Structure 1
């Protein structure tokens, strides 16, 4: 084992947070203490980013009317998604896809504007700015789980419409509406598995060796 490894208990805690992280839709109200919220955002800010561009921007939504407007955008997209799903639309409409009204905090995670000037690591893979923001969101998610808070990533919205609602500059792009707060309990499995929408695939099916499709 490497001399730089954490202790057994520390490693176990890291792997537990990873294994028990859930995309939460059911919240129990309450609040998140300012110091705890600051700690979670600091964890997000420690994420890796291509070229150290730190493309993440977080908008904390504290205005209840603004929160309601955001939820209305999500509801519109939920209906349009159901229509696009065809024969699975009825099943989809029974799923709970967000907890915007019930959660303690709503954060919108967005990509900053003026990103085109950042070329380091993005010349052939410009989407690495999105990958960097995703790493920040994952950091926040895992830290929240370790703190006993639930978090859900809502992606059902039209980016430009949400950007306008939040007064974002041209070029900035919202990537996630994050619902954060206390929960009564964490799902024992991913919610979509519990609801019979999908089944998680085993890792063995997703790891190849040397050539695409060739399993070790």
Structure 2
């Protein structure tokens, strides 16, 4: 049943595209959300780099899963600040072009959530894999001590069995190759559940983002 729900969600993701989102107490530069007040003391940056799922399309910025993670980290008094670098509609190619600017600030932990838009556009798996590897290489070259996390995504079965299977393997393969921690599937326990998704049936509600944050936290907590 859970697998069926995931397939339903993945089919709905076929209209995932570029839109904007706002926040109450954040500033945004090139898709990066930061609090207006700088944190006191020295905190290490956790950069969450992704598309509209990371950006929190359709919910308040503080309701998006990166900000939820940040609040949890703050509550545990851990010395980290989460930076939401999600940009709606982002593809792996666009991310490859954007990442260099974001690496101007020190990165202690890098969370990569990209690829869904590639899959929905039918971009060759080899190209997506190459672009994601390039992003990872840029992070590793600039911050060789940074800890890396990759977030898994899938495409709907109507993209073709072979393509869907090859696409799914991008993320565990890159995780293994680059010694990255792997979040198997970001939308686990959210995809295909109406009450956890907005009216478009695509983007998670605030409650859905709570579960997305939990999915990521299960992996992130062992790294912090």
Structure 1 length-normalised TM: 0.24
Structure 2 length-normalised TM: 0.23
